[in-house]
Amino acid sequence: MESSRSPIVIGAGPAGLTAALRLVQNGVKPRLLEATGHVGGLARTPHSGDWCLDPGGHRFFTKYEEVRDLWNALLPPDQWLSVPRSSAMLVDGEYVKYPLVGRDIVTKLGVGRGLRGLSSYAGWRMLRSGSPSGQPANFEEWGTHEFGRYWYTIFFDGYVRKTWLADPAELASDWANQRIKPIDWTWRNKRKHPSEDVFRYPRRGPGQLWDAAAAALVDAGVTPTLNARVERLWTHDGTWYVELHDGEVIEGDAVFSSMPLQTLVEALPAAPRRVRVAASNLHHRGLITVAVALHDRHEIPFNWVYTPGGEFLCGRIQNYGRWSKNLHPAGWDGTFLGFEYFVRPDGELMAADDSSLSEIVEADIRALGLGDSRVDHVMMLRSQFAYPVYDPVRERSVARIRNYLRRHYPSLHPMGRNGMHRYDNQDHAMLSAMHSVARYFGGDVDPWQVNADRGYHEAGVLKK
């Protein structure tokens, strides 16, 4: 039987597609509105012939069974790869394993620097154990306490400055425990076997999964409406009115929103000043990903490499060949790399034309020591809202907006990464969407609580 309910879903990224699929499973057909010309959001995979670009190197791992089950329902087993994780930091020409391994740091950086790092590490750990516990005031304090001043400076200070374009002393540290693993001091034979640290990956990149999700929706009678940017929304007598950039107004009984939280507040009828101020305090970092296919084969034994030093403008380099051989044409045997530049969404670099970007990337290829290799192919992708910034006012601002929306718009469901202003992965986007749909059907769940614990988020992930 056709349902009389008519929810509207904003955004066809992982959160929006998951919400739409869940609604369909419950017998309700939503309208799915996507601002751009493609589905998948930040986790899409742009193609150029047989070349595929992963915007950020998307590892698939989760602790949530319902997320894993949906992945399995959308793509058959032969489309999933099981990829061993190996990543490093490139410091003064040396690849130091990341997450950090004590023995590797000491041997790679030389005895003098190793001893200096060790004494700084030990000193700060002792200081920390003597001071009352509690959340450090900022990221710099967190990093210094965790790694000692010397290793914090070498490994994290430069990278965090590049990623967030901010002084680490002005950044909150509440994400750090979830994202950054402490140094592993175990001896090799006691350490986890490398085969235990694997992640899943769709053969043709993350977007393959989200294309499959969109195809499943089309089969169920829900075709995502592309190039449909939501500009305004309001509610009257229990009906939602959602206005697109071309003036079309769509009506519905509820709204699931993965558009950036501050844009959502701006699109609603004027909120009280304190809520508008909170929204204006939410900021993002953009990302430019440049995929470069170098004709020669260079052995880089890592999936990705962080580049904290000033000799590189990029902050991280993906080694796509180590993710999947299906990201490049069959038989091609060169080196396919993805250079990541963290930028201000409205900054100069985001506005730079392709030829200016090419010059920057060429300099980074030279810094990597691969300047002599011929370039077979280049792809560029600009993502405006890639990283929700975690500064000291974020938590308070998000709480203020969340409470206001809950009170005034109970049938409006913010979800996903930018939709909740959370520096989180696809599985958070998916589970927050699932919980939002459960709430729509009367379930007693709170999507804002998904992934709210502060433990290291790769502990206890599902292996199958």
Ligand X SMILES: Cc1cc2nc3c(=O)[nH]c(=O)nc-3n(C[C@H](O)[C@H](O)[C@H](O)COP(=O)(O)OP(=O)(O)OC[C@H]3O[C@@H](n4cnc5c(N)ncnc54)[C@H](O)[C@@H]3O)c2cc1C
**Positions in the binding site for ligand X (CB under 6 A):** 10-16, 33-36, 41-43, 56-59, 229-230, 258-259, 263, 287, 386, 416-419, 424-427, 429
**Nearest residue (CB) to ligand X, 14 versus 334:** 14
**Measured between alpha carbons, how far is 343 from 361 in angstroms, rounded to an integer?**
14
SS3 state at 381: strand
**Nearest residue (CB) to ligand X, 229 versus 325:** 229
**Measured between alpha carbons, how far is 427 from 245 in angstroms, rounded to an integer?**
30
**The two three-digit tokens of residue 79, written as one number:** 């489309």
Nearest-approach distance from CB 451 to ligand X, in angstroms: 10
SS3 state at 62: coil
- Please name which of 173, 389, 391, 380 lies closest in space to residue 285, comparing C-alpha atoms: 389
**The two three-digit tokens of residue 88, written as one number:** 């490093």
Nearest-approach distance from CB 310 to ligand X, in angstroms: 21
**Nearest residue (CB) to ligand X, 105 versus 357:** 357
Nearest-approach distance from CB 353 to ligand X, in angstroms: 22
Q: Helix 273-280 vs helix 394-408: angle between axes, to the nearest 10 degrees?
A: 140
Assign residue 167 a region (left: φ > 0; alpha: ψ between -120 and 50; beta: otherwise).
Answer: beta
**Nearest residue (CB) to ligand X, 331 versus 455:** 455
Nearest-approach distance from CB 430 to ligand X, in angstroms: 8
Nearest-approach distance from CB 287 to ligand X, in angstroms: 5
Cα 402 from chain centroid (whole Å)? 21
Nearest-approach distance from CB 222 to ligand X, in angstroms: 15
Strand 304-306 to 316-319 pairing? antiparallel
**The two three-digit tokens of residue 116, written as one number:** 């200096």
What are residue 380's DSSP bridge partners? 290
* Sheet strands side by side (includes 412-414): 31-33, 8-10, 255-257, 412-414
Nearest-approach distance from CB 86 to ligand X, in angstroms: 14
Q: Is 223 exposed, middle or buried (0-12, 13-18, 19+ CB in 10 A)?
A: exposed
**Nearest residue (CB) to ligand X, 155 versus 256:** 256
**Nearest residue (CB) to ligand X, 426 versus 436:** 426
**Nearest residue (CB) to ligand X, 20 versus 105:** 20
